[in-house]
Amino acid sequence: MILTVTLNTALDLTYRVPALVPHASHRVTQVIERPGGKGLNVSRVLGALGHETVVTGFVGGATGETLRALLARTTAGQPVHDALVPTAGATRRTVAVVDAASGDTTQLNEPGPAITPAEWAAFTGRFAELLDGARAVALCGSLPPGIHVGAYAELVRLARAAGVPTLLDTSGEPLRRGIAARPDLVKPNAEELAQLTGSREPHRATRDARRRGAHAVVTSLGPDGLLAATPDGLWQAAPPAPVKGNPTGAGDSAVAALLAGLVDGADWPTRLTHAVALSAATVLSPVAGEFDATAYEALLPRVTVHEPATAA
């Protein structure tokens, strides 16, 4: 199985409005609730692709109960197994407001509950148990209040000691600390990469990030696809054309595809092709953690992968 970690889980709410106008009242035409947080999105996509997954992290309060109930009702593909750890605080909510006229999305994210030292100790114990039998682990998203900034580095070291490959998808100081613990793969976006390395030139920054400890770095370039610095060289993958829709969860789908390629032993061009196609197909879906399966299959043969000239 593939293990995903979401320390700051969320109940995702998606509101669709005809047009989003500042300082105005809006009539919501559709409301969708989903269990959320980056790792949960990754697990739902992996399940839809046919992979067995287990989710862990923190969950609490009435929103946490709703999240677990929705997670149990996930029906697409393989079920997502719940190994979430209770916390006294309430699980946060995130609100995505989709403007039907423009296709743009406005995101509002709550900070999450404060985690106590005892709750963190309970989680790390559960995490160590779950590593037994895991083929790979993804460490995803922000840290809730109360957890030290070296938390992901600690989890990477635990996974490495257990011989389980790790993918790290976070930002800021948790990313800086985590990458130094030598995860197998790091997947920042361009802004997170610039904050880490101080460079806004993607090729230089991606290679610099890899030198900081990661075995491989795959950078999301938004509508321009992915850039990967790997032991086999530098690769760039792009969709045939930019797609318009809801980008929420597109990066999580890319993570799911990269994890699937890792456990399947696929080569890097194949991993990146699937990651770009799945990410674009997610933009075409109105809800994070889901993708347009027809679009995914249609995009796969149209994704281009090449070694940039700067690789030399």
- 99 a catalytic residue: no
What CA–CA distance (Å, rounded) separates 234 from 230?
6
Question: For the CA atoms of the chain, what is the radius of gyration?
Answer: 18
In terms of phi and psi (left: phi > 0; alpha: psi -120 to 50; beta: otherwise), the region of 183 is beta
Tell me the H-state helices in the chain.
38-48, 61-72, 117-131, 151-161, 172-180, 190-197, 202-211, 250-264, 268-283, 293-299
Active-site pick, 12, 169, 184, 252? 252
Cα dist. 93→35, 108, 112 in Å? 10, 9, 8
Residue that has been written with the tokens 């593909």 in this structure? 77
Residues 68 and 82 sit within 8 Å (Cβ to Cβ): yes
Nearest alpha carbon to residue 115 among 141, 146, 150: 146
Q: What's the start-to-end Cα distance of the chain, in Å?
A: 38
Which residues are catalytically annotated? 252
